[in-house]
Structure 1
């Protein structure tokens, strides 16, 4: 019998061969680097046990509010993900009293903007959006504390960088893209999702959105090879995402749901959740 040749990885970059911004010559090396370094941006999934005055619920309220602020300021997608990452990495190393938690949030957004945005909101804008709860000096002092606590290691691989690549591998249209981002932004609010690394969260969000729109389980060979995750590896995380989708419009924290219920985001939040993924017999 002849040896079976290994099936090649589908080329998802040929369409961008003439686009210098797509850097197709070394895009694989870039994402291999992201995969090797993504752990640097992860935190202990139970770091709140070291905080004495704040808890998971307060974190959720803060991030839900920041998602609305991010939307109001019309900031770039990557700014939101980096903001949340900076908050978690800082809180994992520094204890914070509850009255300073919002200050941590707006300062993290300021720092993320300086890395990702062309036009950065001024400090006064952030003070105003916080109902003048803090002074300019307090924001600048918190900024100094945060960058020193994080040792100026600000830019790390977040779920966003993987989302762009994995959506491309899945040959996603705008509808699937909006739904994928709706699902993963729901996860930003949920403290329990810190146990998953950024690449797995991104892959599971794309998979969950794909299944939601198709009405059945689907994970292509191209997606599996470019994400390095099989369908079985994604199911646990995906089922949690379906639960978040199901309860998104209820309760007090509905910032993500309201954002993705608008026409601007294709009313993605109003899609029926993929409840069939909850069947553990699948």
Structure 2
């Protein structure tokens, strides 16, 4: 299978890459004051029937259980002799470009959840089945097809997907791989992703559009990183992204309210935050540029540029 930069719709722009910058993985030390008041972030929504706020605590407690039972196997590539972290990164970059290309092509943009779910399916599938060296992109696009069916009201057909990615295989190949994936995962498509938790944690942080976009970028870009995506739970990635965004915005890294609603102390996030910081700093330097370029645009408040410069 060709590397993604050789596909029909991937175009890496090396001219956008800045000069090498020093990497700093230092995380500021901070302790939440013991007497800091915990806010009730659902208080204003009690009378709103659309938020179902009375169930929020139970829903997210259940999602915390699901993220553990449905997580990919940490370091699963050790059992994939034909694949490595570099190949996985190209596959994720390829999926991100497919997601963005389809969103630009059709009138209705694809949901952000579709990309997150497709990556989750990809990692979970590779955790349970070995695939040959020439099949990762076929598995990736099949995961993408399943995710669109799960997340979207209107989803692209296999023929439409092949129009943008003709080299991955035939229609029959994709449908066969789709059956393998669903069977191996026992049809458990719905699984919490960092974006699932980010929506809740951003509310607990009183995130404005800038902070919200920064945390979304860092959560999404973290999925490019094999170690982050497989060694940390989605809620940890979302929490770490919020903490980094607050630091960039000049706020205290953590609050009693965030500690309560995320379930993590600031100290418990240190390892994840450190890896995320290094990954974000390296983002402009790598060939896998799709997510970085997307969030470097004005539409996304140039969050990628801000994060890389100030994290």
Asked if TM exceeds 0.5, the reply is yes
Is 1:117 the counterpart of 2:152 in the alignment? yes
Deviation at 1:217, TM superposition (A): 4.3
Over the aligned positions, Cα root-mean-square deviation in angstroms equals 1.7
When residues 50 and 172 of structure 1 are mapped into structure 2, their CA distance, relative to the original with a 3 A threshold, is: same
Contact 2:37/2:256 (8 A) holds in 1: no
Deviations 1:144-180 (A, max 9, x none): 1110111111111121111110000000011111111
Is 1:21 the counterpart of 2:56 in the alignment? no
1:57 to 78, 86, 108: 86
Partner in structure 2 of residue 90 of structure 1: 125
Q: Tell me the matched-pair count.
A: 270
Q: How does 1:149-164 map to 2 (within 5 A)?
A: 149-164=184-199
Runs of 4+ with >3 A deviation:
6-9, 272-276
Contact 2:195/2:219 (8 A) holds in 1: no
SS at match of 2:248: helix
* TM-score, scaled relative to structure 1: 0.91
Deviation at 1:189, TM superposition (A): 0.7
Partner in structure 2 of residue 265 of structure 1: 300
**More deviation, 9-18/160-169:** 9-18
Contact 1:242/1:275 (8 A) holds in 2: no
Higher relative contact order (CA 8 A, sep 6+): 2
1:37 to 60, 66, 69: 66
Contact 1:41/1:85 (8 A) holds in 2: no
Paired with 1:172 and 1:43, the residues of 2 have a C-alpha distance of: 29
2:280 to 216, 235, 245: 245
Q: How does 1:200-211 map to 2 (within 5 A)?
A: 200-211=236-247
Deviations 1:183-215 (A, max 9, x none): 11111011111111111111011111111121x
Show structure 2 runs of 5+ residues with no match. Answer: 1-34, 104-109
When residues 275 and 243 of structure 1 are mapped into structure 2, their CA distance, relative to the original with a 3 A threshold, is: farther
Q: How does 1:151-230 map to 2 (within 5 A)?
A: 151-193=186-228, 194-214=230-250, 217-230=252-265
Show structure 1 runs of 5+ residues with no match. Answer: 1-5, 277-282
